[in-house]
Amino acid sequence: MLAGVLSCFTEEQRRRMKAACVGIAGAGGLGSNAAMMLARSGAGRLIVIDGDKVEPSNLNRQHYFPAHVGRPKVEALAEQLLALNPDLRVDARMMWLSRDNIPALLPEADIWIEALDNASTKALFASAAAAAGKIVVCGSGMGGVGGFAMRRRRMGNLVVVGDMKSDIAECPPLAPRVMQCAAMQADAALEWLLTGTIKDLL
């Protein structure tokens, strides 16, 4: 299905892409868009976790359409991912993340994209992933229009993507900057899968 993309990779890179699993914690603006980009880029397997359902207010920045309103986000997203790439292995889990279940989930993916809305859950997930030795790519700062330039900074196993400054409580999250942040998160995951490293982009 994605022969054109995969032909750009070496045999070793194709093997790594097929064998690796990317976990995505959250299927909203960051997670849904990052998942679609990874599917278009030859990812072999995705785990997508979210306990929420699609609401009309989500359609301004999340990869859903009016027909998906009322459905579980992970179900609607998995349907779109498989329509795009039937060879993709999608593990869609409708569940909320908590201090109790995060530790058992972390070993299931090789790298994680943190795409959560709740600040305390974001911090909990990132710290647990780092403590477990898992690379986690977090989003921080993507509100409003224009504003500060997006950056990417790696600190050990923690990679932070965003403008590092804007607060979505004051600046509404709109599609262009949310999708820009999601794209940079997906790019970081791909860089790691293809090269084994993630560089700073400051």
Q: What is the pLDDT of residue 169?
A: 65
- Per-residue pLDDT of the chain (202 residues), as tens digits, is 566 667 788 888 888 889 999 999 999 999 999 999 999 999 999 999 999 999 999 999 999 999 999 999 999 999 999 999 999 999 999 999 999 999 999 999 999 999 998 989 999 999 999 889 999 999 998 888 887 889 999 999 999 999 888 776 677 888 999 999 999 999 999 999 999 999 998 7
Share of the chain above pLDDT 70, in %: 96
Backbone angles phi, psi at 151, to 5 degrees: -135, 170
- So what's the pLDDT on residue 172? 85
HEC sequence for the chain = CCHHHHCCCCHHHHHHHHHCEEEEECCCHHHHHHHHHHHHCCCCEEEEECCCECCHHHHHCCCCCHHHCCCEHHHHHHHHHHHHCCCCEEEEECCCCCCCCHHHHHHHCCEEEECCCCHHHHHHHHHHHHHCCCEEEEECCCCCCCCCCCEEEEECCEEEEECCCCCCCCCCCCHHHHHHHHHHHHHHHHHHHHHCCCCCEC
Q: In whole angstroms, give the CA distance from residue 88 to residue 31.
A: 16
Is-contact 39 88, C-beta < 8 A? yes
What's the pLDDT at 74? 98
* Residue 148 pLDDT: 83
The reply to whether 202 falls in a domain is no
What pLDDT does residue 48 have? 98
Its domain, for residue 141, covers 3-195
Domain-located, residue 141: yes
Instruction: Give the pLDDT of residue 2.
Output: 62
Q: Does the residue 98 lie in any domain? A: yes
Whether residue 201 lies inside any domain: the answer is no
For residue 26 the two structure tokens come to 């959250």
Q: Is residue 138 part of a domain?
A: yes
Give the CATH number for residue 83.
Answer: 3.40.50.720
Check: CB of residue 33 under 8 Å from CB of residue 77: no
**Is 184 a domain residue?**
yes
Number of domains, the chain: 1
Q: H or E segment at 91?
A: strand 89-93
